[in-house]
Copies of this chain bind each other. A is one copy, B any other.
Amino acid sequence: MTTISDVAALAGVSKATVSRTFTRPHTVSPETAQRVLNASTKLGFVPNSAARQLARGRTGIIALVVPTLSNSFFTPIISGAQARAQELDLQLTVAVHSLAAAEELASFERLSRQVDGFIVAAPWGTDDVLRTAGMYKPVVLLDRETEGMTSVIADTASAFRSLASHLIAQGHRHLCYIGGPERSWQDPLRLAAVTSAAEHLGTKITALGPCPATFEAGLAISAQVRESGATAVIPYATAIGLGVQFALLHAGVRELPVVTSESPVAEALGRAHTPVIDVDGEELGRVAVNQLAESLESPQATARRIRLRVPVRLDPADQPSV
């Protein structure tokens, strides 16, 4: 392993200059910088991250905490975050825990010593756990807002409002909303959005749930959906919707549109006229990393709330609308 000293020797400068060349290039004369760079590429120098961490008091690692990997809602978020982190020269580690229980805080605390900050996707659970988490290191919340903490959310509530309006415009007179997990943060917002749109337009709405955001749960709740008599379904999460669709298909019901994100299952159902909700998970991940990076730069900056617009489309082939 070549070290900074090797480079310094070859370039004929001091260790300090080499270090500066990489960390604060403008403080080094262009000629010197060039010599250093030549030497370092020639030797294949890569800074030792442990040494850098030790000297700087920073790890250069950020953690992305998700409640599960099984829900495909999170995979694009992870990809987006990973990509952006790499661009910012940060390392991203993905940790799976819900933070729902207080005991999770122990492993959280352990992790907090290994990273500079957290991006936490906590779709459910209470605020105080998040607050406690925020005491260790900077935290950016994902798809969740909490007073005094920086958050990046997809504005699904607005999207749900549009969805309801769309469906009503299509002639539906009875909608079914399937609620999310218990103590979900987004669920009340979405329910309210859908309900207000429906009431405003004089349409009946049945609210089911709570219901975990899983395919299985969707299967399980499908009977209730059919019994409701609704002619269109808006589930809290795509996973639920897919479960419902699958169960409906299995039961031979083909004319009950269920709103989901685009997905192979949904597509296979050939659902013309079923609106689609289009959360850009990768963007969500990217923006969250950006925010966290900013928080790391200026730790005392005030908390920000960022909302990403979520397009809704009448048909998967359409252009985004609303």
Contact = CB atoms under 8 A, between A and B. Distances in A.
A201 interface: no
A260 to B, nearest CB: 14
Contacts of A70: 72, 75
A46 interface: yes
Given A114-B91, A246-B246, A265 B215 contact: yes
This chain: how many copies in the complex? 2
B82 A78 contact: no
Contact of A79 (B96, B214, B243): B96
Given A264-B243, A268-B247, A75 B69 contact: yes
A50 B82 CA distance: 22
A243 B263 CA distance: 12
A204 interface: no
B46 A113 contact: yes
Contacts of A113: 46, 48-49
Q: Which of A70, A114, A250, A269 has the most CB of B within 10 A?
A: A250
A44 to B, nearest CB: 10
A121 to B, nearest CB: 14
A53 interface: yes
A219 B268 contact: yes
A216 interface: yes
Nearest to A68: B75
A54 interface: yes
Choose among A48, A72, A93, A264 the residue with the greatest number of B CB atoms under 10 Å from its CB: A264
A269 B107 CA distance: 39
A13 interface: no
A230 interface: no
A129 interface: no
Interface in A63-110: 69-70, 72, 75, 78-79, 82, 86, 91, 93-94, 96, 107, 110
Given A49-B113, A94-B94, A246-B246, 17 more contacts: A46-B113, A48-B113, A49-B114, A50-B51, A50-B53, A50-B59, A69-B75, A69-B78, A70-B72, A86-B107, A91-B93, A215-B264, A219-B268, A243-B264, A249-B249, A249-B250, A250-B268
24 contacts: A46-B110, A48-B54, A48-B113, A49-B114, A50-B51, A50-B53, A50-B59, A54-B54, A69-B69, A69-B78, A69-B79, A70-B72, A78-B96, A79-B96, A82-B96, A86-B107, A91-B114, A93-B93, A93-B94, A215-B265, A243-B264, A246-B246, A246-B249, A246-B268
Interface of A: 46, 48-51, 53-54, 59, 69-70, 72, 75, 78-79, 82, 86, 91, 93-94, 96, 107, 110, 113-114, 214-216, 219, 243, 246-247, 249-250, 264-265, 268-269
